[in-house]
Amino acid sequence: EEQGPSPGYRMELSIFYVVYFVVFPFFFINIFVALIIITFQVQGDKVMSECSLEKNERACIDFAISAKPLTRYMPQDKQSFQYKTWTFVVSPPFEYFIMAMIALNTVVLMMKFYDAPYEYELILKCLNIVFTSMFSMECVLKTIAFGVLNYFRDAWNVFDFVTVLGSITDILLTEIAALPYMCLLIAMLFFIYAIIGMQ
């Protein structure tokens, strides 16, 4: 009583925790997903068993039927501001610049360390705000260039938008409190488990 916990005390409980909360959930999720996939494959093979084609031929025909051509949005009026913005946004220099900014932002995020000087943390915070502002500007330019509907049709644009939204939320929450970080961590864990479950 009134003493801190002893380091390394009852290690067997930590092993039990890891096995129970990490190994078993992954194991049972994989079994469940595998059963669903096998069931769908068996049912699909039953439907196609009456067909005279081989499995590879059927796969080729299914792919040809379900394939959709890739479309790229392009504004019609070449004199409009939207077309000029679109030309700027889809240009290789702009894409390389954004990729360079993503790499630099990653490096800046890796430069944090415990008990850093106040000035150092302030510089990193300002750089984070600058990068977030640039990525927000990229989202705005792409929304102008493609239009709202065409912008959100691309999965990468949706990913960029969610990332920028998360960065803005991170900046705002850093100034308010640290407790929402736990909520974001729990949401991220649920998201990761959902992705694993879908795979």
Q: How many domains does the chain have?
A: 2
Q: What is the pLDDT of residue 105?
A: 92
Q: Would you call 154 helix, strand, or coil by DSSP?
A: coil
**Stated pTM of the model:** 0.58
Q: What is the pLDDT of residue 100?
A: 95
* pLDDT over 70 percentage in the chain: 90
Residue 167 lies in a domain: yes
Q: What is the pLDDT of residue 119?
A: 93
Q: Cβ-count burial of 108 within 10 angstroms (0-12 exposed, 13-18 middle, 19+ buried)?
A: middle
Q: For 64-96, how does the pLDDT look when each residue is reduced to its tens digit (9 = 90+)?
A: 777 776 667 788 888 889 999 999 999 999 999
Could you give the CA distance from residue 72 to residue 69 in angstroms, rounded to a whole number?
10
Could you give the CA distance from residue 109 to residue 127 in angstroms, rounded to a whole number?
9
| pLDDT of 153 strictly over 80 | yes
Q: Tell which wins on pLDDT, 120 or 6.
A: 120
Residue 185 lies in a domain: yes
Q: What is the pLDDT of residue 71?
A: 67
Q: What is the pLDDT of residue 70?
A: 64
Residue 134 lies in a domain: yes
The amino acid at residue 18 is V
What number of other Cβ atoms are within 10 A of residue 92's Cβ?
7
Domain hosting residue 185, numbered range:
81-198
Residue 168 belongs to domain with CATH number: 1.20.120.350
> Are 113 and 192 found together in one domain?
yes
Residue 144 lies in a domain: yes
> Are 96 and 37 found together in one domain?
no
| pLDDT of 173 strictly over 80 | no
> Are 20 and 88 found together in one domain?
no
> Are 124 and 151 found together in one domain?
yes
> Are 88 and 186 found together in one domain?
yes
In angstroms, the first-to-last Cα distance of the chain is: 47
Residue 22 lies in a domain: yes
Q: Tell which wins on pLDDT, 190 or 135.
A: 135
> Are 97 and 191 found together in one domain?
yes
Residue whose entry in the numeric block shows the structure tokens 């992954």: 26
> Are 37 and 60 found together in one domain?
yes
Residue 106 lies in a domain: yes
Residue 5 lies in a domain: no
Q: For 25-50, how does the pLDDT look when each residue is reduced to its tens digit (9 = 90+)?
A: 777 778 888 888 888 777 776 666 66
145-160: average pLDDT = 88
Residues contacting residue 75 through CB under 8 Å, at least 6 positions apart: 82, 83, 86, 145
Secondary structure of 56-109 in the HEC alphabet?
Answer: HHHHHHHHHHHCCCCCCCCCCCCCCHHHHHHHHHCCHHHHHHHHHHHHHHHHHH
Could you give the CA distance from residue 18 to residue 12 in angstroms, rounded to a whole number?
10
Mean pLDDT of the chain: 83
